[in-house]
Amino acid sequence: MSSSSSPARSSGTCYTGVAIGLHWLIAIAIIGSFAVGLYMVDLPLSPQKLKIYSWHKWAGVTIFLCVVLRLGWRLLHRPPDLPAGMPAWQRKAAEATHVLLYLLMFAVPLSGWLMSSAKGFQTVWFGVLPLPDLLDKNKELGDLLQQVHMMLNFSMAALVIAHLGAALKHHLIDRDDVLVRMLPWIGNATSGDVK
C-alpha cells in the first residue's frame, strides 16, 4: 500500500496504491475491450474472429472479477473526499456518475455472458474454466441481449467521456487535485501539495 508523503493529513485525502492500480488496469481493459468489441462484430467469420471473440469474452470475465475486487477494496478503504468548495450539484453529479459506472462495470460483462449463453456459445475462461450457461439457447433472446450489451456499452462510453471531462475540468479549470490524486506514482506524492 502506498504511504502518503504527508502522513499528518487525515486518511481521506488520497487513494491507496491498490485503488489507483485497479482504476487504471480496469480503465485500460475496458477501453481495449470496447474497441475490440466494435471491431470484431462486423468481421467476416474466420478463425481469427473466433479467437478475438474468445479473448474479448475472457477479458470481460477478468474485468468483472477485477471490478468485484475493486468494489470490495473501495468498501474497506474510503476514497478521498471531494474538494471542499465543490457545489452540491457537482457532488451529486459526481456521485451519480460513479454509481452508474460501477453498475455498468458489472452489467456490461454480465450482459455479454448472458448473450453468449443465449446464442449457444458457452464462455470458457481462457479455454480452461467453463462458466455455467445461465440461459438456454434462444436466438431471439440472444439478439435482444446483443442490443442490450451494445446499449450498455454506449451508455458506459458516454459516462466515461463525462468522467474524463470532469477530471480534466477539475485539473485545468478548478485546479484542484481530483485528477492528480488518481495518477499512479505522482498521485500520492503530490496530492497534499496541489491545493
Percentage helix, strand, coil, to 5, in the chain? 70, 0, 30
Does 10 help bind another protein (rule: CB under 8 A)?
A: no
| First vs last C-alpha separation in the chain | 23
Near another protein in 132-151, by CB under 8 A = 137
User: Cβ distance 178 to 171 under 8 Å?
Assistant: yes
Judged by CB under 8 A, which of 32, 72, 120, 165 binds another protein?
A: 120
Q: How many residues does the chain have?
A: 195
Q: Which is nearer to another protein, 146 or 155 (CB)?
A: 146
Q: For residues 138 and 145, is the Cβ–Cβ distance under 8 A?
A: no
Cβ 67 to another protein, closest distance in Å?
24
- Report the residue from 124, 157, 166, 194 that binds another protein according to the rule CB under 8 A: 124
Q: Binding to another protein by residue 54, rule CB under 8 A?
A: yes
Applying CB under 8 A, the span of 17-25, 41-49, 102-110, 183-191 interacting with another protein comes to 41-49
Find the binding residues for another protein in span 76-115 (CB under 8 A).
Answer: none
57, 109, 136, 140, 188 from 122: Cα distances, Å? 10, 14, 10, 17, 42
Residues that bind another protein (CB under 8 A): 45-47, 50-51, 53-54, 119-124, 127-128, 130, 137
